[in-house]
Each structure stands twice: as structure tokens, then as C-alpha cells.
Amino acid sequence: MNLRRLSAMVYKEGLQILRDPRSLAIALVMPLMQMALLGYGVSLDIKHVPICVYDQEMSQLSRSITQRFDAAGWFSTVRTLGSQSELSRAMDGGTCIAAVVVPVDFSRRLAATGSAPLQAVFDATDVNTSNIAQGYLLGVLADVNARIAADYRDAHGLRSASLGQVDLQASTWFNETLDSRNFIIPGVVAVILALIGAQLTSLTVSREWERGTMEQLISTPVTALEVMLGKLIPYFAVGMVDAGVCLALAVYWFDVPFRGALSTLAVATALFSLVILGIGYLISVRFRSQLAASQIALLVTLMPTTLLSGYTFPIDQMPRPIQLATLVVYPRYFITILRGIFLKGSTLADLWQPMLGLVAFAAAIVWLAAIAFRKWLD
């Protein structure tokens, strides 16, 4: 390792990045586009679920219940129905995702037995949405139950304690507003780094092969380690700038809470960048055509980052074998760390496990990259 040769490599590689409008665009514009697209486009929240109400009773009580659906903002009543066949048509036509039916004897049964059924019909074509809608509906009804119980106590002059009522007070931690954007956006940083990092480095070595400059480079005293570091250092800088832009956007534009230490985040981001850039470089050494290299890079970096890292699909809900498989999906460690730092304010001590995972991956990839490039032509 010689610093003079290394700095010459960094100098050359840096100039080439600046001279190549395509790389520069990938490096600078892509993160902004991705952030906007993923920040605005991806949302796991469901608001204003369209529902229909078929109130067969039309009593004061039934009306007070149906009005509650709209009040919470989770549902919006798009139509009031007058018959069972109308309900079928509304569901078939996709007018609503859920329909609530208040039976004709609802108030009477409630008064007589203390409980009465409500019917709710869900369109489960989209299982995820219908599950969430069910959850919201149960929430509304729990509220209704509590009201009815309170009214009953008041009417009979009972104190609440004597009834032994359990009052559930749910409190949500870390993501108080239950906004899925807070959950998604920290992960977007990982996705963007994965997307552009490997794309950029995957081209650096194959480009030299394609343009014939590699033969000249190999004929010089430059060592394989110097080539690797010389190619990674400028892109590492680009990656860190990109990460900084994304993080700033997350905090100042998308208002994602940031509760941890910036230094912990910087360390994790640096490690993840090393892994991604190293993978791109390894691919580039292996494939001498730029096209092949960039395709493979997409496959091994972006796919695991979006699908298996817990970025959108929670890992603990995956089947057991796939959960085990995610142990080698390096982005999961970074995404865990990102969410921990952003939402929970986790410290290095809390995050030592995923941090160790990243360190192990970074060390392995950089070692592989250092030995991968052999200074021979064939």
C-alpha cells in the first residue's frame, strides 16, 4: 500500500465521477426522486375506508353508533343502504370495503339481554386492508360499548367501581401517531444506498475492461488493494453525502422523529455503505461487461433490501425458514438500526447485535474485494 499511488487512484476516479453525467445523475438526483416516491407513495396506513351502513332499525341509538364511524377519520360512510340486495350490489361493485348492518331489533335486544349483535361485512379481496379495517371497527365498537356501559351506570345510579369495569387504555410507543411513514422512511435511506451504491461501483472495474484502460492500469505498479480502495473511497464519499441528504429530508421534510445519536447513525451508515459498495465492486471485478454488472448488482442489493430486510414486510411475520434466511440479508441489520435510532432513540449498547452483524458483513466483503482483483489479464 502506497499513499501516493492510492491518492492518484482516488484523484482519477473522482474526476471520472465528475465527468460522467450519468453517474452523477444517479448519485445526486436519484436519492431525491426515490425519497419523494417512497416517502409519499408507500403508505401502509388506511384512512377513510369507504363503508356502507344498512341501518334496519333507524333508532336514536343505532344512529349514534353509525355516526361514530365517520367521527374517528378511519372510515367514511359513502352510502346508506335500504335493503340486503343493495348491500350485495355495493360490495360487488367495490363501492365500499366494509358494510355495517344494524339489525331491526338491535335496541330491544340490548335493553332485554344487555348485549346485541351488529353485523359487519368485509371485502377481503385485499386481506391486508380488510384486516386493518376490522381492527379499526373493533376499536370504534369498544368505544361504543364503553359509552353504553357508562349510560347504564348513570341511569341506575351505580358508581363505576362497583361494576368492576376494566378500562383499557392502549398507549402506543415509539410511533405515537401510528403513522406508517415514520416506519417506512428510515428504511428508505437503506433502499437508496443499496440502489445507487452498488450501481455506481458495479460499473467502475467493468468500465475499465470495456474501454481497454485496464490493460494499461495492470501494467503499472499499482496494487490490487490500491485499485480497490482508490475506487471505493470516492464512491464512499458520494454514498455518505447521499445518506446525509436522505436523512435530512426524512427529518426536516417528512417530520420523522429523530431520537438517537447522529454519531451512531453515521457509524452504521458507513458500515452499510462499505458492504454495498464492496458488493458492487466484487460484481464489477467478476463481470467484465458494464451491463451484466449493473443487472447483477440490482439483483443482489435492491431485492433483499426491499423484500427480505423487514423494510416493508415484518420479519417476525415471515415463515420460519425465511426468517432464518434473513440472517444473511445484510440490510435487515441496517434497517433495524435505522428504526431504532430514529424512533426509539436506541444507543450503541441497545443496537450491538445488528451492529455486530453489519461489522461482520463489512469486514467480509471488504476482505473479499481486496483479494478478488488479480492483477493479471487472463
Partner 1 sequence: MIAESLSKRFGDFTAVDQLSLRIGRGEVMGFIGPNGAGKSTTIRMLCGLIPPSGGRATVAGFDVGRESQRVREHIGYMSQKFSLYSDLTVGENLRFFAGIYRVPTKELGPRMRYAVSMAGLEGQQDTLVGTLAGGWKQRLALGCAILHRPPVLFLDEPTSGVEPEARRRFWDLIHDLAAEGVTTLVSTHYMDEAEYCNRIALIDRGRLVAIGSPGELRERGLGGALYELACRPLGAAVEALQGQSGVLEAAIFGDRMHVVADPAMLGLPALVERLRAGGIEVDAAGPAPPSLEDVFVHLVARGRDRRITS
CA 354-355-358 angle, 5° bins? 90
* Chosen residue from 141, 218, 240, 298 binding partner 1 by CB under 8 A: 218
Q: Residue 145, Cβ neighbours under 10 Å: how many? A: 11
4: contact with partner 1 by CB under 8 A: yes
Which sign, positive or negative, has the C-alpha torsion 158, 159, 165, 168?
positive
Among 42, 120, 222, 233, binds partner 1 (CB under 8 A): 222
Residues that bind partner 1 (rule: CB under 8 A) add up to a total of: 28
Minimum distance of partner 1 from residue 14's CB (angstroms): 11
Min dist CB 225 to partner 1, Å, is 12
Calculate helix-pair angle for 290-297, 262-286, nearest 10 degrees.
Answer: 140
Here the cell at position 339 is: 428504526
Neighbours of 345 (CB within 10 A): 15
Window of 15-23, 88-96, 152-160, 354-362 that interacts with partner 1 by CB under 8 A: 15-23
Residue 232: CB atoms within 10 A of its CB come to: 24
Q: Applying CB under 8 A, does 20 fall inside the site for partner 1?
A: yes
Cα 92 to Cα 86: distance, rounded to the nearest angstrom: 10
Question: Is 213 near partner 1 (CB under 8 A)?
Answer: yes
Query: At closest approach, how far in Å is the CB of 222 from partner 1?
Result: 5
Decide: is 79 part of the binding site for partner 1 (CB under 8 A): no
Asked whether 47 and 268 are in contact (CB, 8 A), the reply is no
- Residue from 164, 212, 314, 321 touching partner 1 (CB under 8 A): that is 212
Near partner 1 by CB under 8 A: residue from 211, 314, 320, 321: 211
Q: How far from chain centre, in Å, is Cα 160?
A: 43
8 binding partner 1? (CB under 8 A): yes
How many CA atoms, within 13 angstroms, populate the side-chain half-sphere of residue 347?
A: 1
For partner 1, the binding residue among 92, 167, 316, 378 (CB under 8 A) is 378
**Contact by Cβ (8 Å): 133, 98:** yes
Among 45, 126, 176, 215, interactor with partner 1 by CB under 8 A: 215
For position 128 contacting partner 1 by CB under 8 A, the verdict is no
Nearer to partner 1, 126 or 215 (CB): 215
Query: Which of helix, strand or coil describes residue 80?
Result: strand
Selection from 238, 236, 237, 241 nearest residue 281 by Cα: 236
Residue 22 CB, nearest approach to partner 1 (Å) = 11
Nearer to partner 1, 2 or 67 (CB): 2
- Give dist(CA 163, CA 135) in Å, integer: 27
Asked if 16 interacts with partner 1 (CB under 8 A), we say yes
In the complex, which residues of this chain contact partner 1 (CB under 8 A)? 2, 4-5, 7-9, 11-12, 15-16, 19-20, 211-216, 218-223, 375-378
